[in-house]
Amino acid sequence: MKNDIQALEAYVRAANYIAAAQLYLQDNFLLERPLSFDDIKPRILGHWGTCPGINFAYAHLNRLVRDHKTDMIFVLGPGHGFAGLQANLYIEGTLSKYYPAVTQDKQGLGEVLKKFSWPYGFPSHTNPGTPGAILEGGELGYSLATAYGAVLDNPNLIAACMVGDGEAETGPLATAWHLNKFVDPKTNGAVLPILHLNGYKISGPSIFGRMSDKELKSLFYGYGYEPIIVEGEGKALHKHMYDALEKSHKMIRAIQKKSSVSPRFPMIILRTLKGWTGIEEWNGDKYEGNCLSHQVPLLNAKTDERELARVEEWLRSYKFHELFDAEKGFAALPLSIVPEPELHIGNNRQCYGGDAVCHDLFLPSIAAKDTGAVVPGQSVADSMHAAGEYLKRVIEDNMPSRNFRVFSPDETYSNKLDAIFQVTKRAFVWPIMKWDKDMAPDGRVIEMLSEHSLQGLMQGYVLTGRHAVFPSYEAFVQVISSMADQYVKFIRVAREITWRGHVASLNYILTSPGWQQQHNGFSHQNPGFIDSMLQKHGCFVHVYFPADKNSTLVVLKRCLESKEEINLIVAGKGDEPEWLSVDEAQQALVTGVSIWKFASDENPDIVFASAGDFLTKEALAAITVLKEDVPDIRVRFVNVLEITSLGIGNDTCRVPLDFNEYFTEDKPVVFNFHGYPETIKQVLFDQQGAADRFSIHGYLESGSTTTPFDMHVRNKTSRYHLVMDALDLLLERGVVKEHVVTELKTKYAKLLEEHRSFIIHHGIDPDPIANWKWK
């Protein structure tokens, strides 16, 4: 151990120098002469405070991997500590593999140092261009969940996850500690959390940093861990970390060999000073061990002689010249703890996707009973029940591969996907009572009332080569909007990096929408996640609005086949009319937009359009109302199955689409949309003349616990509102007479008032509304 301690000290010195020098130097990288202002970058950017602790932990993990040949990845929560992670990737040689210009000599070192936080160089945070990274950083709090996702169905893998103490204050991270309750040690890998207590955030102390050892141990023991506190100074600190990792590794392997309820995995609580080994004090202010070292100390080093001299003194304190040669690179001592190349932590194949780890799902064909002809609107079916039956077959067919999971916020039953429990269970390794249903340690479904944790799990699972579906109530998936935002950014860049192989898509099923009222009220009505995703430019973001069961099945299969995309399937969970055969649904999926001939005339006077199952039903009902009262009106019906982030039918994303071929060149269009009307208005902005002739109906943030039809009435998406709008548009064009419009609008207003009275008295929609069928 003595030789290893010396090597660890040398390694950490080297990593600390490289991390600190990245913040400041644009030249004179080996300090071969005194620093001058010209050597300092014009913009001093980055974060220093967390880097020394990252370097310390990574060094010791290297030693552990070297000695035990451990299959390990490193998940870095403090994305601000990228300069530290980059230093370690450079020392171990992984950075040079993926960036050939970053050689292990003076020139290559210069590439690392100068291009950090530099235009078209390396960003200031962990990013998709970081070898081995599977998240940008844990400021949002999902590093631990991502680590747990990575080890699911990866029985040999250990994910060392470094959690910052500021990050640990977030809600997502707080819930993620409980993910140990879902990981069966027999069939999955293990997460080794390292809670880094350097005591401070950007401008003040962290909560965890001010807790006593007793409080910390009690907390994490209660979470189900065996906490090991590592603290001290110098060689003693290295010995404590050495022993803690040995103990942790032994515990993990012992737990994995036996089947036990409530397995107690280890975690490490690492106490080091913020900005450790850096500027201790300046102008009477404490830096090391204080929040002032969070970002970059001494920001005036480019113009202030005193600050420049102090930065030089700091950098020279690491004696980097003893550890690195301008031509030969790193000395033997620090490299002696680095494992052999195939075991480099940053080069772990699990983090790179591609055929080596990402295998296509075996996807069953859509069941024969669903593939026959459909008489539009004459039969009903439950889209989510059918989706559950299909997912059951997907799980069953891919059981040997163990590469598909469902992550659901305790809503699998509610969303009528429970057919999957015929072939699997909900994962749970804490006590299971005899009356609990559908629970087992090795279940393929993880349910937890934390969308944040599920998002992190799914990201870690998918980015390490597997496939997943995330069903959720539409209103509550909005909770993870910022996390999904970060993933969209990650995958957008990753798609352009040649050494990142393909991975599966993130697939969301959004159901229980506000339109489908049962016992929920206004709080359960929010289509905002749709808007959030559609604002992310790129052909890899898709939102699907299947109008019926067969459309849902076709879309679901397509999403599970796709790669590196973000897919949203928005569908209800009740019995709704069937409109399309499977073949017709597949054809509609090609362009994402289709004219439904059974509801359309030649040379239309007006176009009705819809996106969304409930909204489609109302739009078609509006056509029947209009046809009954004004038979001579010619109508076209257009259904929008898919909207990409670049717009309906954008020709850069799918088969080239002539917008006017579907919506005509000049006829008015009444569009009934599942979400906010403004969403479609934005989509139509680039379509010449569309804004003037499109009338958009959608969710107006008006709701309560009420009947399904009353939700349409409140939001002006009902058949009667659509027809009244259509009549006004036709009147403007001289297609109908004013007295006809006045008479009919009076009639519809009366019908709406009668409906209101009926539901107040009876509590349900009248039969002609509730059981309406297409004529």
Shared domain check, 521 and 392: yes
Cβ contacts of residue 230 below 8 Å, gap of 6+? 237, 240, 241, 244, 268, 269, 270, 271
pLDDT of residue 82: 96
The DSSP 8-state label assigned to residue 766 in this structure reads: -
Check pLDDT > 90 for residue 584. Answer: yes
Q: What is the CB neighbour count within 10 angstroms for residue 58?
A: 26
| pLDDT (tens digit per residue) in 220-265 | 999 999 999 999 999 999 999 999 999 999 999 999 998 789 999 9
Indicate the length of the chain as a whole number: 775
At residue 663 the predicted structure's pLDDT band, cuts being 50, 70 and 90, is very high
Give the mean pLDDT of 351-363.
Answer: 96
At residue 512 the predicted structure's pLDDT band, cuts being 50, 70 and 90, is confident
CA angle, residues 617, 623, 625, in degrees to nearest 5: 100
Structure tokens at 74: 């490193």
- Please indicate, yes or no, if residue 345 is contained in any of the structural domains: no
Check pLDDT > 80 for residue 559. Answer: yes
CATH number at residue 712: 3.40.50.920
Amino acid at 59: A
Cβ contacts of residue 178 below 8 Å, gap of 6+? 223, 224, 448, 450, 453
pLDDT of residue 683: 79
- Cα dihedral 204, 206, 212, 216, rounded to 10, equals 180
Give the mean pLDDT of 181-186.
Answer: 96
Shared domain check, 186 and 122: yes
Shared domain check, 611 and 572: no
Shared domain check, 271 and 385: no
| pLDDT (tens digit per residue) in 453-462 | 999 999 999 9
Check pLDDT > 90 for residue 1. Answer: no
- Please indicate, yes or no, if residue 258 is contained in any of the structural domains: yes
Give the mean pLDDT of 25-45.
Answer: 97
| pLDDT (tens digit per residue) in 592-619 | 999 999 999 999 999 999 999 999 999 9
Q: In angstroms, rounded to a whole number, what is the distance separating the alpha carbons of residues 645 and 242?
A: 50
CA-to-CA separations, 474 to 140, 411, 518, 577, in angstroms, rounded: 21, 11, 14, 21
- Please indicate, yes or no, if residue 517 is contained in any of the structural domains: yes
At residue 463 the predicted structure's pLDDT band, cuts being 50, 70 and 90, is very high
CA angle, residues 624, 550, 602, in degrees to nearest 5: 40
Structure tokens at 9: 């000290």
Q: Which of 565, 414, 386 is nearest to 490 (CA)?
A: 565
Q: In angstroms, rounded to a whole number, what is the distance separating the alpha carbons of residues 650 and 638?
A: 16
Among the three residues 334, 352, 379, which one is the final residue of a domain in this structure? 334
Shared domain check, 188 and 42: yes
| pLDDT (tens digit per residue) in 366-411 | 988 888 889 999 999 999 999 999 999 999 999 999 999 999 998 8
Q: In angstroms, rounded to a whole number, what is the distance separating the alpha carbons of residues 625 and 774?
A: 10
- Please indicate, yes or no, if residue 350 is contained in any of the structural domains: no
pLDDT of residue 425: 97
Specify whether the CB–CB gap between 686 and 588 falls below 8 A. Answer: no
Q: Buried (b) or exposed (e) across 251-289, using 16+ Cβ within 10 A?
A: bbeebbeeeeeebebbbbbbbbbbbbbbbbeeeeeebbb
CA-to-CA separations, 676 to 488, 575, 622, 696, 717, in angstroms, rounded: 22, 24, 20, 9, 11
pLDDT of residue 427: 97
Q: Write out the E strands in 165-224.
A: 190-197
pLDDT of residue 615: 97
Q: In angstroms, rounded to a whole number, what is the distance separating the alpha carbons of residues 243 and 237?
A: 10
Cβ contacts of residue 525 below 8 Å, gap of 6+? 475, 513, 514, 699, 701, 703
CA angle, residues 364, 367, 369, in degrees to nearest 5: 175
Q: In angstroms, rounded to a whole number, what is the distance separating the alpha carbons of residues 548 and 474?
A: 17
Check pLDDT > 90 for residue 68. Answer: yes
Q: Write out the E strands in 256-340.
A: 265-271, 281-282, 285-286, 324-325, 329-330
Check pLDDT > 90 for residue 15. Answer: yes
Q: What is the CB neighbour count within 10 angstroms for residue 570?
A: 25
Shared domain check, 246 and 138: yes
- Cα dihedral 245, 247, 250, 256, rounded to 10, equals -90
| pLDDT (tens digit per residue) in 744-756 | 999 999 999 999 9
Q: Which residues pair with 577 in a beta bridge?
A: 380
Shared domain check, 435 and 322: no
- Please indicate, yes or no, if residue 705 is contained in any of the structural domains: yes
The DSSP 8-state label assigned to residue 122 in this structure reads: B
At residue 649 the predicted structure's pLDDT band, cuts being 50, 70 and 90, is low
Check pLDDT > 90 for residue 325. Answer: yes
- Based on the structure, what is the number of domains in the chain? 3
Q: Which residues pair with 193 in a beta bridge?
A: 161
Shared domain check, 372 and 232: no
Specify whether the CB–CB gap between 548 and 584 falls below 8 A. Answer: no
Shared domain check, 372 and 270: no
Q: In angstroms, rounded to a whole number, what is the distance separating the alpha carbons of residues 317 and 17?
A: 9
Q: Which residues pair with 473 in a beta bridge?
A: 511
Shared domain check, 445 and 553: yes
Q: In angstroms, rounded to a whole number, what is the distance separating the alpha carbons of residues 126 and 250?
A: 30
Quote the domain boundaries for residue 494. 368-577
Q: In angstroms, rounded to a whole number, what is the distance separating the alpha carbons of residues 525 and 674?
A: 11
Query: What rounded mean pLDDT belongs to the chain?
Result: 94
At residue 523 the predicted structure's pLDDT band, cuts being 50, 70 and 90, is confident
| pLDDT (tens digit per residue) in 401-442 | 999 999 999 889 999 999 999 999 999 999 999 999 999 999
Shared domain check, 616 and 559: no
Shared domain check, 607 and 755: yes
Task: Please report where in the chains the tokens 């001939």 appear, as a residue.
Answer: 597
Structure tokens at 573: 């969970």
- Please indicate, yes or no, if residue 126 is contained in any of the structural domains: yes
CA-to-CA separations, 435 to 418, 429, 438, 439, in angstroms, rounded: 17, 16, 10, 10
Cβ contacts of residue 638 below 8 Å, gap of 6+? 593, 594, 595, 596, 607, 608, 609, 610, 662, 663, 669
- Please indicate, yes or no, if residue 354 is contained in any of the structural domains: no
Give the mean pLDDT of 459-476.
Answer: 96
Among the three residues 279, 314, 334, which one is the final residue of a domain in this structure? 334
Q: In angstroms, rounded to a whole number, what is the distance separating the alpha carbons of residues 508 and 481?
A: 12
Q: In angstroms, rounded to a whole number, what is the distance separating the alpha carbons of residues 138 and 172?
A: 10
Q: Which of 536, 535, 553 is nearest to 544 (CA)?
A: 553
Check pLDDT > 70 for residue 138. Answer: no
Check pLDDT > 80 for residue 137. Answer: no
Give the mean pLDDT of 502-511.
Answer: 97
Q: Give percent above pLDDT 90 in the chain.
A: 88
Specify whether the CB–CB gap between 59 and 11 falls below 8 A. Answer: yes
**DSSP H/E element including 609:** strand 606-611
More confident residue, 2 or 68: 68
- Please indicate, yes or no, if residue 623 is contained in any of the structural domains: yes
Check pLDDT > 90 for residue 521. Answer: no
Q: In angstroms, rounded to a whole number, what is the distance separating the alpha carbons of residues 731 and 612?
A: 28
CATH number at residue 411: 3.40.50.970
| pLDDT (tens digit per residue) in 297-323 | 999 999 999 999 999 999 999 999 999
Q: Which residues pair with 541 in a beta bridge?
A: 566
Among the three residues 334, 356, 379, which one is the final residue of a domain in this structure? 334
Q: In angstroms, rounded to a whole number, what is the distance separating the alpha carbons of residues 455 and 598?
A: 41
Cβ contacts of residue 763 below 8 Å, gap of 6+? 707
Task: Please report where in the chains the tokens 């010449």 appear, as a residue.
Answer: 688
